[in-house]
Structure 1
């Protein structure tokens, strides 16, 4: 099922107005299936992306918006509602945020190790250099609203 159709189905079940927009449909990269499972289990309620890699015409995520989480086959898994969005430096990301990302042992040390490697690769792909001291990170908090 296409993400748009899945979201239309979710809006009907949730009683949302038909005009409610879908912010995006995305997967969590190479770990798409495992991380989508953490979202469904309620263990992953946050994510992070590199502010510096958003395009000029690519808007930042917005609190109050809805997203469709996809598995590795780009099939819809669930709909989330974005509770909060903030931009912080990589080194200012909190232990609480790392815990809510739900990965590994959920520690800040684990989060930094995994995300530093992830962001280094992402920046390199964009022809940029990742610097933990200056990188700005978009932190999103969310919860699953469909399936309920």
Structure 2
């Protein structure tokens, strides 16, 4: 199965943030990612399931790496721990740093524009916490 047969996965928004995320996956530093459950619901997308594969797109919309989801949990933000925060591969020292960065992103203009409002982000906000492994890189 090539990249073209896989659903696309876009980290953040095109630009430096996405480029850093893709680079962190390719380097092996990023083995987890988090999404706001409200975004999945608004987009009418199902929460990913273990075993599902995705083509992670770069900022130009090209497949950069193929990942396979190995674990998915829908949990309140307060349940994200230091280990998961570090697995995000963004240099977070602990869950507090992860939380601050994700609160800022989830309240960003891009997310608010997509949802049509600024989401409530607090301890009980549900996030989709995924762990994954790389199963292929580059174009098929």
Q: Same fold (TM over 0.5)?
A: yes
Aligned residues between the structures: 131
Q: State the 4+ residue runs in structure 1 displaced beyond 3 angstroms.
A: none
TM-score by length of 1: 0.79
Return 5+ residue gaps in structure 2 as ranges: none
Which sections of structure 1, spanning at least 5 residues, go unmatched? 9-20
Among 32, 38, 63, the residue aligned to 1:76: 63
- Give me the CA root mean square deviation: 2.1
User: How far off is 1:96 after superposition?
Assistant: 1.0
In the TM superposition, what whole-angstrom CA distance separates every residue of 1:27-84 from its partner, at most 9, and x where no partner exists?
2124111110100111000000011222363211111000011111111111001001
**TM-score normalised per structure 2:** 0.83
53 and 29 in structure 1: CA distance in 2 versus 1, 3 angstrom threshold: closer
**Alignment correspondent of 1:112:** 99
Give the structure with higher Rg (CA). Answer: 1
Aligned to 1:147: 137
User: Distance between the aligned counterparts of 1:115 and 1:67, measured in 2?
Assistant: 22
Matched with 2:112 is: 124
Q: Pick the aligned partner of 2:80 from 93, 98, 108.
A: 93
